Structure 1
Amino acid sequence: MKKLFCALSLVIGLGNVVAQDEYYFPEQNAIWEEKQPNAIKMNTKVLEEAVAFAESNEYSGSRDLRIAILKGFEREPFHQILGPTKKRGGPAGMILKNGYIVAKWGDTKRVDMTFSVTKSFLSTVAGLAEDKGIIASTDDKVVDYIWDGTFDGAHNSKITWEHLLQQNSAWSGELWGGKDWADRPPREGGIDDWKFEKPAVPGTEMEYNDVRVNVLAYSLTHVWRKPIPLVLKEQVMDKIDASSTWRWHGYENAWTEVDGLQMKSVTGGGHSGAGLFINTEDMARFGLLFLNGGKWKEQQLISEAWIAKAIAPSAPNVNYGYMWWLNKKGDRHWPGLSEDLYYAAGFGGNFMVIDKENDLVVVTRWLEPSKIGEFMTKVNASLN
């Protein structure tokens, strides 16, 4: 197996020279190299306890994700399944230290829905667009690129790419039959109280809203002039030697015309079906790419400048960047863990965690969502 090193400094102790930031990158279709935790400065027993915790705290929703989705979003008016779903497997996960597997559980090759983890992949497609000059700046107004009426009007015309990426756009309208006001309604008040509520000023209030995320996917489809899954495949997944098993779906009716060609506009999540279907190992590869600052082996795939923007706190929510959750001191802070840690999170307990301070990538699937902070605390305790 080929080993590549990004040695930033050397620590000399007890006669040994230990390279810091020594990252291993698995080859395509090869066995991913594993190391015993105690051989790479982790406590084996404590790490085993963390894995056992993940295995014993499976997400309580149905394994038939169609049922879980309908139950989980039953409060939404007009909610229905619009794209494909798939029955899920049991708890699964991988923990990487410097790129090596130090722990894994469940079926890591099984392809499952990943729900809003998809958003972090969508954000990356936007980053590639800025890196390549397809979008000049995320500060640009989207109406200057998408002029088909999607961003017309005094309100929507103020929306920038950054607003869409930080989920504070307050975009108002309907896409693929989904109405922005009907997505994740507030817990208090009836339809008449919030259906006609005036949208917030773009950039001032974060509202987790899949309709607006799908507007971002639609807009990126048009500026790239090709299907978003193809962009991700060519620009990232093939280059990190991901498997050929992942799929990115859109709703059944989500077709748009670009340059005379019919293209499917994908979703940024799965709460009406669709989204990214992917296995644990491919998620871990994607996480390793971000751990290494967007570089895979010797090739810079995503700029460090983009990653810095993507994980910078937004003004309305210190715990949210460009579709990445941030472990800053706020409502979603995990006490005792690095404040530089960031992660993707999806319905049903899908998590992809990047901990640069400790050279860790943690992927855990179908963990009861309320247990993720406790799980990560246990993982952190295994570090010597």
Structure 2
Amino acid sequence: MKNIKFNLFLFLLLIGFQAISQKYYFPPKGAWEEKPASEFDLDFSEAIEFAENNEYSESRDLRQAILKGFEKEPFHELLGPVKRRGGTAGIILKNGYIISSWGNIDRVDMTFSVTKSFLATTALLAKQQGLISSFDDPVSKYVWDDTFEGEHNSKISWKHLLQQNSDWSGELWGSLDWADRPDQQQNIDKWRSRELNEPGTVFKYNDVRVNVLAYSLLNVFRKPLPQVLKKKIMDPIDASTSWRWFGYENSFTTIDGLKMQSVSGGGHSGGGMFINTRDMARFGLLFLNNGNWNGKPLIDKNLIEEAMRPSKPNSNYGYMWWLSKGENKQWKEIDEDIFYAAGFGGNFIIVDQKNALVIVTRWLEPSKLESFLNLVYKNL
């Protein structure tokens, strides 16, 4: 009798574990089950109508939009591929199911700085695989060329690059760090001779330094980062084969006798991630479930938790994921526990673990995002 009770206990325990592991639905390749939002007592029709009526206001010809958006940067030019964009699109997931969508969610478009969160993911993989011992290590320990030479650059750690507070100084692929989003109150001569900030003390959004991270990770993996991402993340989450990750026409280096392209962390000068809305949602679902995809641990949960910790210089920024925390939180009415990837032109992946939501928007006017989210969250 005791054995029967014990076996029954084990059976119930196993059922419980299975129920926990199946908390979310994980879509198989090429398919995705949809459920009406009403099944969860939700209604996003007003939010979707708002998104559709507030398309990004700049040209769908992204060559024009990029050049206009960064026209105040000295020496700015397009160095990587650019693609004409589509219209507004988006997906809302609840527990992994598609409960709302709008626009062409299968169209491949540029996603600009959302690419940074994919780049940060490759850094987490490098740490997970033991290729990086600690994110507090100076990058000069791993990259032996002159990228991190000098009194200032030699102090820069992986964490500084991931949190965008390194103040790395130099030139990469013909782009100068100080020419990226310079202070418009200063002239070129002052920027060239500026006093550098101690690494880890000042946040500065800077694509040249992001590309330094990509180049450094390329040296660590000794293979192109798109190959790493495909094998370790995108194939296991059953993403499509349509996404591409580009660098610049001049961002090539030779490793182990092979010529490899170092990818860019956004579309600021062209390039970056080109991807459809469904694949962005799959990526968000992986992070919603703390790096576990249908029972397969792809990214260690502790690494994801580390990536979402606020940096000291910017409480709203982790490892290339945006946060909404503290007195300076981005959205006053939205829960602090969310984190999100954000890109030029209104591209976002928003992950809400508390409410089991993933929200992806494409080409929503960026200034309208908070209003859109308020409409999403008003009936939660």
Query: What interval of TM-score do these two structures reach, taking the shorter chain for normalisation?
Result: over 0.9
Determine the structure 1 residue equivalent to 2:33. Answer: 33
Name which of 333, 337, 340 aligns with 2:337. Answer: 340
The alpha carbon displacement at 1:137 in A equals 0.8
Determine the structure 1 residue equivalent to 2:318. Answer: 321
| CA distance in 1 between partners of 2:25 and 2:194 (Å) | 51
Count of aligned pairs = 367
**In 2 relative to 1, CA 223–38 (structure 1 residues): closer, same or farther, beyond 3 Å?**
same
Determine the structure 2 residue equivalent to 1:22. Answer: 23
The alpha carbon displacement at 1:41 in A equals 3.1
Determine the structure 2 residue equivalent to 1:60. Answer: 57
Q: Deviations over 1:136-190 (max 9, x none)?
A: 1101110000011110100000000000000001000000000000000113222
**In 2 relative to 1, CA 6–117 (structure 1 residues): closer, same or farther, beyond 3 Å?**
farther
Q: Deviations over 1:324-349 (max 9, x none)?
A: 00011344521121101000000000
**In 2 relative to 1, CA 127–270 (structure 1 residues): closer, same or farther, beyond 3 Å?**
same
Unpaired segments ≥5 residues, structure 2: 1-13
The alpha carbon displacement at 1:382 in A equals 2.9
**In 2 relative to 1, CA 20–133 (structure 1 residues): closer, same or farther, beyond 3 Å?**
closer
Name which of 133, 136, 139 aligns with 1:139. Answer: 136
Letter in 1 for 2:289: N
| CA distance in 1 between partners of 2:316 and 2:192 (Å) | 27
**In 2 relative to 1, CA 282–190 (structure 1 residues): closer, same or farther, beyond 3 Å?**
same
The alpha carbon displacement at 1:21 in A equals 7.8
Letter in 2 for 1:38: S
Name which of 74, 80, 86 aligns with 1:77. Answer: 74
| CA distance in 1 between partners of 2:172 and 2:35 (Å) | 48
The alpha carbon displacement at 1:275 in A equals 0.2
Name which of 267, 281, 285 aligns with 1:284. Answer: 281
1:113 aligns with 2:114: no
| CA distance in 2 between partners of 1:253 and 1:137 (Å) | 30
Letter in 1 for 2:375: K
The structure with the largest helix share of the pair is: 2
**In 2 relative to 1, CA 197–133 (structure 1 residues): closer, same or farther, beyond 3 Å?**
same
How do 1:33-52 residues align onto structure 2 when only pairs under 5 Å count?
33-42=33-42, 44=43, 47-52=44-49
SS of the residue 2:65 aligns to: helix
| CA distance in 1 between partners of 2:187 and 2:320 (Å) | 29
| CA distance in 2 between partners of 1:168 and 1:203 (Å) | 5
Q: Is the 8 A contact 2:92 2:358 kept in 1?
A: yes
Bigger Rg, structure 1 or 2: 2
The alpha carbon displacement at 1:8 in A equals 8.2
How do 1:213-362 residues align onto structure 2 when only pairs under 5 Å count?
213-362=210-359
The alpha carbon displacement at 1:374 in A equals 1.3
**In 2 relative to 1, CA 36–159 (structure 1 residues): closer, same or farther, beyond 3 Å?**
same
Letter in 2 for 1:35: K
Determine the structure 1 residue equivalent to 2:174. Answer: 177
SS of the residue 2:212 aligns to: helix
SS of the residue 2:342 aligns to: strand
Coordinate RMSD, CA, aligned: 1.7
Letter in 2 for 1:90: G
| CA distance in 1 between partners of 2:21 and 2:259 (Å) | 49
**In 2 relative to 1, CA 21–339 (structure 1 residues): closer, same or farther, beyond 3 Å?**
farther
TM-score, length-scaled by structure 1: 0.93
SS of the residue 2:359 aligns to: strand
Q: Is the 8 A contact 2:248 2:270 kept in 1?
A: yes
How do 1:149-188 residues align onto structure 2 when only pairs under 5 Å count?
149-188=146-185
Unpaired segments ≥5 residues, structure 1: 11-18
* Identity across the alignment (%): 61
| CA distance in 2 between partners of 1:194 and 1:295 (Å) | 44
Q: Deviations over 1:173-210 (max 9, x none)?
A: 00000000000011322222322112211000000000
Q: Is the 8 A contact 1:214 1:267 kept in 2?
A: yes
TM-score, length-scaled by structure 2: 0.94
Bigger mean CA deviation after superposition, 193-202 or 58-67? 193-202
The alpha carbon displacement at 1:261 in A equals 0.6
SS of the residue 2:78 aligns to: coil
Determine the structure 2 residue equivalent to 1:374. Answer: 371
Q: Is the 8 A contact 1:21 1:98 kept in 2?
A: no
